[in-house]
Structure 1
Amino acid sequence: MFSWWHFRSGHRVRSVSFKKYVDMIMYEQDGQGQIWPQGSEGGESDYINGEPEWEYETIPLFRGNTGLGFSIAGGADNPHIGEDPSIFITKIIPGGAAAEDGRLKINDIIVKVNEVDVSEATHSEAVDALKQAGTRVVLHVKRLKAPTENVLEIQLIKSNKGLGFSIAGGIGNQHIPGDNGIFVTKIIEGGAAEQDGRLAVGDRLIAVNEANLDNVTHEEAVAALKATQEVVNLTIAKPSYIPDNVSQDQGTPPSARKVENVAVVAPTSSPDTFIRSSPDFRRSSPDKPTNVSLHSENTYANEDPGSFGMLKQKGQRKDPYFYDPHISRDPRKIILKKGSTGLGFNIVGGENGEGIFVSFILAGAPADLSGELRRGDQILSVNGKDLLLATHEEAAGALKTAGDTVELVVQYRPDEYNRFEAKIQDLREQMMNTSTGSLRTTQKRTLYVRALFDYEPTKDSGLPSKGLAFKYGDILHVTNASDDEWWQARYVTPDGEEEGMGIIPSKKRVDRKERARLKNVKFTGKTSEKTNGNVQHMNANEKKKKNFSFSKRFPFMKSKDHAVGEDISADERGADSEASYRGDEPILSYEAVVQQELKYTRPVIILGPLKDRINDDLISEFPDKFGSCVPHTTRPRRDYEADGRDYHFVDSREQMERDIQNHLFIEAGQYNENLYGTSVASVKEVAEKGKHCILDVSGNAIKRLQVAGLYPVAILIKPKSIESIMDMNKRITEEQARLTYERTMKLEQEFGEYFTAVVQGDTANEIYAKVKEVIRDQSGPTIWVPAKEKL
């Protein structure tokens, strides 16, 4: 990745990077690598559990027509993990040279390329070393020594509860990054494994009877277990440690499924990851594992995060509360422990003995995390108190006074709940149509809008009728916008079909409620001794002026005065008043859009955490669909560089300055007195080849591309919390995670209206899959672009 830098007060601050390098090829291997003596090469790295033990290996690869077949990340200028400057292997491309050789692994650290030391190189220096290495590339790598394993054989006799354990892992579904092994993730109570006592969470399955499970797919491991008879011989390896991502909870996860008495985890993630990331699937899973096919009906569970062409079909939306006829209708007992949000579910009912039903489950709350409570459940009792004929007030009181541990007896009754919901819906519509805020007006105004926020109707207490849920970036057909408070709308699928009908808040209502909320926000932040506690809050306009301070002469060009993300003290800008914050700051609600036929391949801009890794992975995995453009520079050409391949070398600084002033560049900057920039023409050149041009630029470039008529697919990766950042990167400090989170929130605030989609997820693979889905859905042949007429 080529990066340039700004210098201020002697510190080097990362600004914008243009070009990444992903090397991929098919090749023939001709030599054997050598193992280096312990400690002979490489630097040290910080690890949580003491000093690491390294093993070193020399791996010769041969470059073909398409590269070396792996992706890298990191460098002194852009550390991949914490402050570690090492160059890490982040992806091995199937069918490439590295994959065919089989020795290079994910998370390997490149110490040398041929004889060039890259142990403390910048990302661009490592890229240059790989590019200049010639046809035969010798990689000197180091990796953590694998923990020792004790191999033993155990014999299990199936009980009426089967073998009683869950597995995860396999080729294409690695439970531990870089390891294709099959691992035990759960021991099920009452099963043969628990009764025997020797099998444990974290054990690796080496063989089942005579079937070798080394380097097999998840499906092959399942098939081997399904083919066993009553007596099963297992060869297992017990590690000297338990991996961080393996849960030690011995209970059966809701996402585990039995296949002929062996519980098998859905093959996209480990059980614990799946439980956190797919609450919708949990709500519809059976109480007890049953003999079902390996293919779940849930889209997320079946989706292959590594396949761009196998994403879910356009227009397919998941209903988070679909009713499965196979779910037991028998009463069942659930024990919940109250959290900071209470139990985390809403109830309806209690009139004329109709029963108390669960109508809403709050994401992340105890009821959701348990995976056992469902919308449509009737609550029969709370801590032994009968609620069968209770009023709403009696049920609410029983739940409120139930204590920290609550025992519920519930029964899944979707038909009764649906009838109850239909009756409530009729009453709401009657109330709406007789109120002064009725949508029955004489003039209907229709339009198409893009949502710039998430909306969940169940959380809107003022909703007069059935609401329509939507996410940021969804296209809505507003069929009646004549009311000041509520609009009637339908969801527009990526195919252009319309589905669902419901009420959404009007732009006026969203603006008013958000401004009222902001009025009461207590802004907190870093303070200095001079400010005497004055808050450090900037409004959007001030942030743009400070964080993206362009020179007066060239509005597109990065200034040296302030770098992206730099802290500005209150003394420099003065304290903000409440009035100044509320002033002209735009509220993100809806953007009017029109449909446009796509005649080019859209550029892609990804901002937020993981963007470097995702950019590399897209180019690596789909070299025929994604590419990078060639930047311009006034720097003299080096001997090994070619004009138009490495850079477009501009004859003079004056010429490039004129081009910048004439808006021919989407972004530009200066490094070592030389100008660098990405031109509109370079982006178009990639687009004309039928490829998405991956751009590593700032949020300001999104608008400049739109002005140039190139509407990019702009995606913000938004972490759910500081904790989620630390979960995805175990070696990042809390302070680093906090800064990353704050930077992302600033990006959302400053450029929210320009993003095509905001993506969230619990794992890097889930986020990557969602990014691919967004790009596929936004690839045409028609797209929605901002309308000239504003709302």
Structure 2
Amino acid sequence: MRIYEGKGELSFHDGDVFHVVDTLFNGVVGSWFVYRLGRNNQEIQKGSIPNKSRADELAAEQRLENRSKKSTSGADDLAITETVGSSRRSNFFRRRRSARRSKSLCRENWEDILFGELGNSKFQAYERVTLRHPTFVRPVIFFGPLADIAREKLLRDYPDKFECPQSTANDATAKNSKLNNSGIVRLSAIKEIIERGKHALLDITPSAVDRLNYAQFYPIVIFMRVENKSIVKELRNRSSTKNTVHRSSRKLFEQSIKLEKVWHHVFTSSITLTSGGDLWYKKLGEIIDKQQTQMVWMSEFKPDESISDDFLFPMNSVSRLSYASSPESDLDVSMNDAKFD
């Protein structure tokens, strides 16, 4: 969500932190005088922002606008489906194929799940936070073209430090009744790993990161940036294992660009991947260790609702249709595998 400034007011985005010094700016109700805090929690900019009441109104307007856009898009999709379904075709098999697709999650549906949930956050417009050291082992999430390989390597090399609630390859988690083949994970499963003193290594969508923050798990989120698709292809060829799914370098590169543009506010750190070695893997470990010991902006209050049974969607499920449709990929996924019931 972005709050657009009024006359003379600052604009800001999700994740920005402010130090409020005057809640009655210029003696008028409606604006706060604040200092914006930078990466090192230093005051870097001063100005006024809408007070809580005005910010809540602006946030509500944005949510309504987003829902309206989704509703309009859904109506258009339905009209297209009905037109296709009602048109006469001489080929029986083409009709069957079309009917199946009308019930399936097409690539655009997956893209909506991945990139279109910015307006559905459970957070209010503003949240009171304090800077504290985490008293628990924080979950770890990777985004970028080598995210799956990074998870594989950490689980293989450091099983005493990392555990994935979505991986049936891990004996400890395979016995967990909360696991299923879909890769969907419940917050309660993540909490169990944290209680065992390990980092929960997660494959989830960016919008699910927002849910984790709302649940006050405060994950370490590392974005792996690349300059071009050639580097993606080189690094994946060098680091892939027999369990690594073959994916289109071009699709992975394009998705990473879009992820950074839309969801950069959920990243807690980033690294740039370069050709010529596995230094990126060592750097990941250093970042995780450093961020685990750093202070984190945490909410002063507990969530208003019980969220232990909330579930998070895996990034791989969202991405697989795009990869499967690419001639550069060896992955073959039927459109009939993912359906709305």
Using structure 1 for the length normalisation, give the TM-score.
0.22
Normalized per residue, the structure richer in helix is 2
Work out which of the two has the higher radius of gyration on C-alpha atoms and give 1 or 2. 1
Considering Cα pairs closer than 8 Å and 6+ residues apart, tell me whether 1 or 2 has the greater RCO.
Answer: 2
Using structure 2 for the length normalisation, give the TM-score.
0.48
